[in-house]
Structure 1
């Protein structure tokens, strides 16, 4: 059988070679009896072989592609479940409110889980030591950058802010703020997944007397107290839920009554009002 196949291919290539030589010298091919028919049969057989090998190669490439796609899908799935920094989407930080709270592009406020920084924006309250430094540090770190948000158990706090662990690339921001002395640990069940990590970071900061654990925040250090008499800006919430603040120079200032039960409040500065999500009234001078 192999001898017949070998003889067939030898004759086929001999006929093809004769045709090429004849074409080169401008003469007709010299075929034996039945040679033309064999030559045509040989050409057709050769074309069929070429088509067959092309189809086989195409099927192999398709199988390889499908295999690679599946491997890629499995890898991504494994990666997403093995790393806490993976989230559905990264978000753009548009505004830092204070040392542990910021706002993203959608307008939603994010509260970092498990930590607390000194107070800076609460009306009628002391501006606590190292609070402004913590706020400025978070601004320099996150403002106008994209971060990943990771939930623990709770979705939001009592103020409607999303409770999240925050990652800037591979930097665990919650831990970083504590370790650098800008925040202290403040965990509440059930959101305690990284409590030990945060406590270790705080111990490091305390031992090295970093930030708010240093001499700058000793009991003898000066703290700024906002005089409640100076907090004259009225933060009003309309029945439609719109937050508007009124200065003394605004036309509706005297008619505006603050109802703290509805979340309305007085602000000491316009910056405080803006940070709390209020907008300036349109009829102010």
Structure 2
């Protein structure tokens, strides 16, 4: 397998810079959630991964001061086509143009900034086409997923520790998804299962999607959780029900519960993360 990884972001993003995101306060008082601005310092990378001639793109958020590249978080964004709404086209993916740079790339700072408040762990965002959901050659993790991740983390490490170090030996991987990103996350978990590296699974409101179960997404040896507005009887440990009414006092994202869960709760989830 031939893999090359190239960092393409401008220096203005690769240098440490502050990002501010509205997040939900980790502690709920009363019946309503509250929000607060969260400012953290990160480096942002945009990695072009060429794997056996096929181009893939991965965003990376690196909290300031990160020196350990053996533990990572992976975040899967929602599908880029939802009904008749096309957020990014597969045809624009090889050059990372159109909606990929204009809309999807923001997930790196949006979620990575929230991670940086509590963990010095690299967060990767595999930008995922609709074709990749077929689990064939258009999915970067269909074959040799661990080796692929090691090449990516080696490129991130080399950006900050350019001393000719060997590839990081991954010891733990956390994985999360928002909404319809659950499909890509489950495929990733399936590809990674034999490695035993996945130690954490976080699902942000996939039960809100018609046809998706109100359940945790399992992975052997991993701690699973789900933050959702969908109730269920006798919820298992880790199933965190947040009624839609509890979002009424928020101002960000028009207090839309689905958007707020995916874009404002990663901070809370990472406070209690089992990944470093």
Q: TM-score range by the shorter chain?
A: under 0.3
TM-score under structure 2 normalisation?
0.25
TM-score under structure 1 normalisation?
0.25
Larger Rg: 1
Q: Which has the higher helix share?
A: 1
